[in-house]
Amino acid sequence: MLWVRKKVRRTAEVLLLRRAKLVRRLLARTGRDRAPLPEIIQVEATNLCNARCVFCPRDLMQRKQGVMDMGLYRKVLDDTAALRIPSMRLHNYGESLIDRQLVEKIRYAKSAGIREVGLISNGSLLTEELARAMVDAGLDAINISVDAAGKETFERTRVGLKYDRVMENIEGLVRVRRERGARRPKLILSFVRQDDSADERAFIEKWSRVADKVHVTDLHNWAGTLHTRADVRFPCYRPWLTFTVLWDGRVSLCCADFDGKVILGDLRTQTIAEVWNGERFLAARRAHLDHGGPEICHACDLPKKDSPLWIKKLVRSVPALPRSEDTDREPPRPAQDRTASDASDS
């Protein structure tokens, strides 16, 4: 029965959290600082944005802003496809729809054999023309960030965006998908929980009948932007399951490292395999198992949102991906418990 499965799952989660120190020690002793292939590669099409959301730390970002050029993108995607990494997100820290080559990038990823291509957007630039192009290119999922408390709250928190325009654009995508007879892209609407007001509840009720999923999330602290310490003891899944590439080719620790403070490699000169189990990545994972990760992780509260059951993917995997010099061998396929569209970190 469903309630039994939920109870068993929750019991397992509680036990793992209580034994966090033991779990970290066992993972370290069994060589889990090395990891199988990432499940998701997150490619930052651009870190430019047309909004100034009050809960976003853009004003603190010091790294250069730009758009990933097609030459670098093809290199990254060819590498991803060769390793058979199944899921890719075309976003990280910016509004992906600003990228004028976004449709071409989606099409290239699908033609390369990437099973799931998804992205997060604020929806403000999603014209019907662009929606048609993305549907035809094969986009698998789009997660549009909105706020459910109505127009006033939306425009006060998402400065520079117009609520009515975004709602019209969402309806336009739904209409295009219906006209095409397409089930893709999967449409997810997500918002940061405000006050559980009647407006929020009405929004969820309305859009649950239209969107494939309505995702409600709590605000996180962007790796310490809101406060400097987080009481997180269980290992974060991101250094083991995700791979984040900034628009200029540098590889950052994860999606929460919005300013690229912890750089683990550079795909302009390296391959994914060289970076993934290179010494910098290994050191970051060992730090997670030993004392909670690099300094930036000590203030991050994202892992509190995660189920500790992600750890089963490491337990049932081989402890190591082939070293970079052995990449001509067939890589193992990662276990899949979720899709590119279901994981909404940022």
Q: pLDDT-derived band of residue 334, with 50, 70 and 90 as boundaries?
A: very low
Read off the pLDDT of residues 189-212 as tens digits, 9 standing for 90 and up.
887 766 666 767 777 788 788 888
- What percent of the chain clears pLDDT 90, i.e. is strictly above it? 46
Predicted local confidence at residue 117, as pLDDT: 97
- What percent of the chain clears pLDDT 70, i.e. is strictly above it? 84
Read off the pLDDT of residues 46-67 as tens digits, 9 standing for 90 and up.
999 998 888 788 888 899 999 9
Amino acid, res. 328:
D
Q: Is 337 helix (H, G, I), strand (E, B) or coil?
A: coil
Report the mean per-residue pLDDT for the chain. 83
Query: Is the Cβ–Cβ distance between 194 and 148 less than 8 Å?
Result: yes
Read off the pLDDT of residues 298-325 as tens digits, 9 standing for 90 and up.
878 787 777 777 778 877 665 444 444 4
The Cα 190–Cα 119 span in angstroms is 12
* Strand boundaries in the chain, DSSP class E: 40-43, 52-53, 87-89, 116-121, 141-145, 158-159, 186-192, 213-217, 242-245, 250-252, 263-266
Amino acid, res. 133:
A
Residue 109: in which H helix or E strand, if any?
A: helix 102-111
Query: Is the Cβ–Cβ distance between 56 and 257 less than 8 Å?
Result: no
Q: pLDDT-derived band of residue 139, with 50, 70 and 90 as boundaries?
A: very high
Q: pLDDT-derived band of residue 220, with 50, 70 and 90 as boundaries?
A: low
The predicted model gives 246-268 an average pLDDT of: 94
Query: Is the Cβ–Cβ distance between 145 and 190 less than 8 Å?
Result: yes
Predicted local confidence at residue 298, as pLDDT: 81
- Beta-carbon contacts of 113 under 8 Å, excluding residues fewer than 6 positions away, are 81, 84
123 has pLDDT over 60: yes
